[in-house]
Structure 1
Amino acid sequence: MRSLSDVEWLAGISTLGTAEGNCRRLGHAHAALFLDRGPTLIVTFETSGAIGLRRPHGQPLGFDLAQERGWSHLCLVARGDTWFRDRAVYAYFDQLVDEAFFEEFDRVVFYGANMAGYAAAAYSATAPGATVILAAPQATLDPRIASWDPRFTEYRRLSFTDRYGYAPDMTEGAGDVYVIFDPEQNLDAMHAALFARAHVTLLPCRNLGRDIGRALEEMRIIRSILSAIGTGKFDATLFRTIYRARRNYIPYLQNLLARLDRDGRPLLAALLCRSVAERLNVPAFAMRLARLRQDLEAQGRKLPRRRR
């Protein structure tokens, strides 16, 4: 199924907004979709490209969850890599504050990943007490603070020093803040460290890779995470339970195998391949297991018996 164009997508969410809330253009690069359903509000930040690529029906991440739970949903969408640094977006959130919009809800949750994670943290300042969940967010692209990050140099022309600027500071009025990141991704880990505060829980997910947001979606656990936060049941312990889904997530298992290879741990690599080949029937892991067995046998080593 092909991805929807920006025009098609905007027409689609405009229809949703007309039926259950409203859809509003914010300048030429952003839009806001609000679906009014219930006293819990999920606020997500996304790009039109990600919505079209990962969800070909053109629905924002929180739409199905909000529909299923009877929750309200506010989705801010960017056309491209804007980091949501736009005066039209500032004005929109200023208006929400002036109207005491967030005070109408019993519970407010902000979520975003990567660039959108930056925005979720930055604009959470408009909803004091909100719970914030971030996946590999950037703290800022201001070169005075993050000159060590070479990934986004072309976007340093954006201003990160005016309103809603430095994302970690913008979370000071939030309730609980959770930052999911892969500590093996050094740049992501450095940004995550900038968020460290007394009310912030860092949730390291080793070997998950560079695109944490996409991984959470592909593992089909982001809805469980948002659902738990929306009902006030989420904490680090529950996250670790939900995150056990990584045992069946092939990209994670591939990253873990690569790590074991780099560390020179053939026995553990063989045990991993055996587990994956038996549980998930993945031919590539079965073939790798056969080669590892040969290498271990040549060294006079054998795999331990399976636990019953």
Structure 2
Amino acid sequence: MLRRLLTMGRPTGPGRHPSSPFTRELGDHRLQYEPGGPTLVVSFDNAARPAEEAYVGRPTWGARFYLSEGHSLLGVIARETSWYRDRTLIAALETLRDEGFFASFARVVLTGGSMGGFAAAAFAPLAPGATVIAFSPQSTLDGRVVPWERRYANGRARDWSLPYSDGPAGLAQAAQGFVFFDNFDRADLRHAARFEQTGRVMLMPVPAGGHGVPPMLIQTGLLKPLTRQIIDGSFSKPAFQKAIRARKETIRYHRMLAREALMRRRPGLALRVCEAGLKRFPLSDLLETRSLALAAMDRPQQALAALDRARALRDKRRG
């Protein structure tokens, strides 16, 4: 029954991709396809979406942009933060592969952030020769492979003996991969190093971008252009490295850099970052972070004064 449902609207010949939309409900996941041009974008949910957005009616991540670019779009929607460790989902995706769905497109691009970035790489063998665009991806949450990864308890508890459980192994079957990540985040840096071993990935560090790199790329106006350039083949790493310097003008940069400094027990650096950022963003939450830095420097009276000021400014904004 599942195979019959999944093969409705299947391609009728080489190079002829499905022209009708379809949706496949799979219990804990949903596949939703919207037809467009000869490039297929497969977009996977990140871990935040199940917690922040209702499952029913949830659009594919990036749908408005990808469809406006004229691409076909297959969304993989997650009900829970399962890291796609689901036999039913895997069977459904393999059925699409076996029926020639992915092969019917001239180009396939798999993309996602965090949990979705892992999936974009891990499921690349469904479309050998595809392009992978992964933002802050985990390489795996298999404790036997990455015993140092202590985040994402729900994901680590899943069945990592299932197929498509290792991002680098999947990426090895892609034509090319692009991994955007914050190299100040130690765990993300270690995952990026595993991807680099494939020899098929271009690592794109975004210092102080935070684990969720897309918000930083959105603030700098770079997310859409870089995605477009990767898909059309015009992406330039040197140009990106120059453009991403604009992150230093954003509040997110100062916020992430200050928090990282505190985590590394460098409160003096955190204080300097906050004070520099407050010149640009005087009513921001950098006030609270500044108070934490002062407290860590054993300056409790100044810390309390800074916290009182932050609360007063917050109340003023609300009023």
Distance 1:54 1:229, change over 3 A: farther
**Cα deviation 1:127-184 (Å, max 9, x = unaligned):** 1111111111111111111111111334333222331121111111101111111121
Match of 2:134 in 1: 134
Matches within 5 A, 1:49-198: 50=49, 53=52, 58-196=58-196, 197-198=198-199
In structure 2, do the counterparts of structure 1 residues 287 and 139 end up closer, same or farther at CA, with 3 Å as the change threshold?
A: closer
- Kept in 2, the 8 Å contact 1:42–1:62? The answer is no
| Aligned-partner residue type, residue 200 of structure 1 | V
For residues 258-277 of structure 1, the aligned pairs below 5 Å read 262=266, 264=268, 269=273, 272-273=276-277, 277=279
Report what 2:257 is aligned to.
Answer: 256
Taking the aligned partners of 2:176 and 2:168, their CA distance within structure 1 comes to 13
Q: Structure 1 vs Structure 2: percent identity of aligned residues?
A: 31
The DSSP-based 3-state class of the residue aligned with 1:146 is coil
Contact persistence 1:41–1:109 (CA under 8 A) = yes
Q: How far apart in 1 are the matches of 2:272 and 2:226?
A: 30
Change (3 A) 1:266 1:69: closer
Distance 2:20 2:282 in 1: 44
Do the aligned partners of 1:136 and 1:182 also contact (CA within 8 Å) in 2? yes
Cα distance in structure 1, aligned partners of 2:286 and 2:111: 38
**Structure 2 letter corresponding to 1:235:** S
Aligned to 2:44: 45
Deviation per CA, 1:84-143: give whole Å up to 9, x if none: 111111112211211222222222111111111111111111111111111111111111
- The residue aligned with 1:305 is none
Gaps of 5+ in 2: 1-18, 289-319
**What is the one-letter code of the residue matched to 1:185?**
D
The residue number in structure 2 matching 1:239 is: 240
Partners of 1:208 and 1:49 lie apart in 2 by 17
**For the residues of structure 1 that align with 2:236 and 2:58, how far apart are their CA atoms?**
31
> For residues 199 and 139 of structure 1, what CA distance do their matches in structure 2 show?
14
Q: Is the 8 A contact 2:65 2:224 kept in 1?
A: yes
Distance 1:73 1:177 in 2: 19
Q: Which residue of 2 aligns with 1:208?
A: 209
- 1:270-289 counterparts in 2 under 5 A? 272-273=276-277, 277=279, 282-283=282-283
Q: In structure 2, what is the equivalent of residue 228 of structure 1?
A: 229
State the shift of 1:52 in Å. 8.5
The CA distance in 1 between the partners of 2:178 and 2:185, in whole Å, is 18
1:34 partner letter: Y
Tell me, yes or no, if the aligned pair for 2:141 and 2:156 is still in contact at 8 Å.
yes
Q: Classify 1:217/1:61 alpha carbon distance in 2 versus 1 (closer, same or farther; 3 Å).
A: farther
Give the paired residue count.
265
CA RMSD of aligned residues (A): 3.3
Question: Residue 160 of structure 2: SS of its match in structure 1?
Answer: coil
* Aligned partners of 1:184 and 1:207 also within 8 Å: yes
Consecutive unaligned residues of structure 1, counting only runs of 5 or more, are 1-18, 289-308
CA deviation after TM superposition for structure 1 residue 260, in Å: 7.5
* AA matched with 1:247: K
How far apart in 2 are the matches of 1:224 and 1:51?
A: 27
Q: Give a deviation string over 1:52-91, Cα, whole Å, max 9, x none.
A: 8489x94322311222111111110101201011111111
Q: What does 1:26-41 align with in structure 2 at a 5 Å threshold?
A: 26=26, 28-41=27-40
Say if 2:50 and 2:78, in contact at 8 Å, map to a contact too.
no
Distance in 2 between residues matched to 1:223 and 1:74, nearest whole Å: 18
Shift of 1:225: 2.3
TM-score by length of 1: 0.74
Residues of 1 paired with 2:249 and 2:140: CA distance? Answer: 34
CA shift digits 1:192-238 (9 cap, x unpaired): 11111211111111111122244434555322222112212123224
